[in-house]
């Protein structure tokens, strides 16, 4: 079974600052996917970024980037130039490669607050 | 991008009654859908995996006779909470996988708030 750990229950930064959310995971799988999801107060789950474990290059989506360290089983999310709209719960998630019947395993989440 | 629609977004039912929540993939076929439950200020907990044309696979500790899942077509899965009790009140979210050949992208519905009174 997989586990995903987010050790920061809550973080708060000023607008325009850079913030890094941490995530570690444990798995015996060699190939898998990692995700960061954002959940604003509306509760809609929004995919922020995803990383295939077999790719060495860190994924980037505009202001969002990850630092994927496969050997350390670490998958942190960096948000640059943070905006008020980034305030939300952020969940790190794991999924085995090959899909099939396996869903996402989520961490407990980090509540990110962007202060004006 | 792909859209998953969940209905109703909010429902209130009386204790002892049953309530059905629908999850539809609007522009893709989903052979596999997933149902999650989220308690306040907590993470999403996978309840079951819904497979088109076959029985759902339930996670340990989830009562399959209480949470009935039906995946009758490639675009629709339903979750029926039977004989609902106040402790079943929660936020339920479905998700759908956009096929095996598309990088295993998973899309989420908007979620459904269930309140049992």
How many whole angstroms separate alpha carbon A88 and alpha carbon B80? 29
pLDDT number for residue B7:
96
Give the CA distances from residue A94 to residues A12, A70, B95, in Å, rounded to whole numbers and listed in that order: 25, 13, 15
Instruction: Name residue, tokens 């607008």.
Output: A15
Tokens of B66: 């209480």
How many whole angstroms separate alpha carbon B5 and alpha carbon B23? 6
Dihedral angle computed from the Cα positions of residues B62, B104, A23 and A12, in that order, rounded to the nearest 10 degrees: -90
How many whole angstroms separate alpha carbon B44 and alpha carbon A39? 11
Sign of CA dihedral A96, A98, A103, A104: positive
Mean pLDDT calculated for residue range B92-97? 93
Contacts of B85 (CB under 8 A, 6+ apart): B15, B16, B116
Contact A103 B105 (CB under 8 A): no
pLDDT tens across B8-47, in order?
999 999 999 999 999 999 988 888 899 999 998 899 999 9
Confidence label for B99 from pLDDT (cuts 50, 70 and 90): low
pLDDT beneath 70, residues of chain A: 98-101
Total count of residues recorded for chain A: 116
Q: A 52-71 residues with CB below 8 A of B?
A: 52
Residue B73 three-state SS: strand
Residue B103 has pLDDT above 80, yes or no: no
Q: Decide: B11 and B116 in contact? Cβ < 8 Å.
A: no
User: Which one of A40, A55, A101, A112 makes the best mutation probe of the B interface by having the most chain B beta carbons within 10 Å?
Assistant: A101
């Amino acid at each position: 079974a997989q586990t995903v750990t987010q050790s920061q229950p809550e973080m708060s930064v000023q607008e325009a600052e850079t913030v890094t959310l941490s995530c570690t995971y444990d798995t015996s799988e060699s190939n898998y996917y990692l995700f960061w999801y954002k959940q604003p107060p509306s509760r809609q789950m929004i995919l922020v970024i995803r990383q295939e474990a077999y790719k060495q290059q860190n994924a980037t989506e505009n202001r969002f980037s990850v630092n994927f360290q496969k050997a350390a089983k670490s998958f942190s999310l960096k948000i640059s130039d943070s905006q008020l709209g980034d305030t939300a719960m952020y969940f790190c998630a794991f999924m085995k490669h090959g899909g099939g019947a396996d869903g996402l395993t989520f961490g407990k989440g980090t509540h990110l607050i962007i202060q004006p | 991008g792909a859209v998953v629609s969940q209905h109703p977004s909010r429902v209130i039912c009386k204790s002892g009654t049953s309530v059905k929540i629908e999850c539809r993939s609007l522009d893709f076929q989903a052979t596999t859908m997933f149902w999650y439950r989220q308690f306040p200020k907590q993470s999403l907990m996978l309840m079951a995996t819904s497979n088109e044309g076959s029985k759902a696979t339930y996670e340990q500790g989830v009562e399959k006779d209480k949470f009935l899942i039906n995946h009758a077509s490639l675009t629709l899965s339903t979750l029926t909470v039977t004989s609902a009790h106040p402790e079943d009140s929660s936020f339920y979210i479905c998700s759908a996988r956009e096929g095996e050949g598309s990088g295993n992208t998973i899309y989420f519905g908007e979620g459904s708030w269930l309140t049992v009174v």
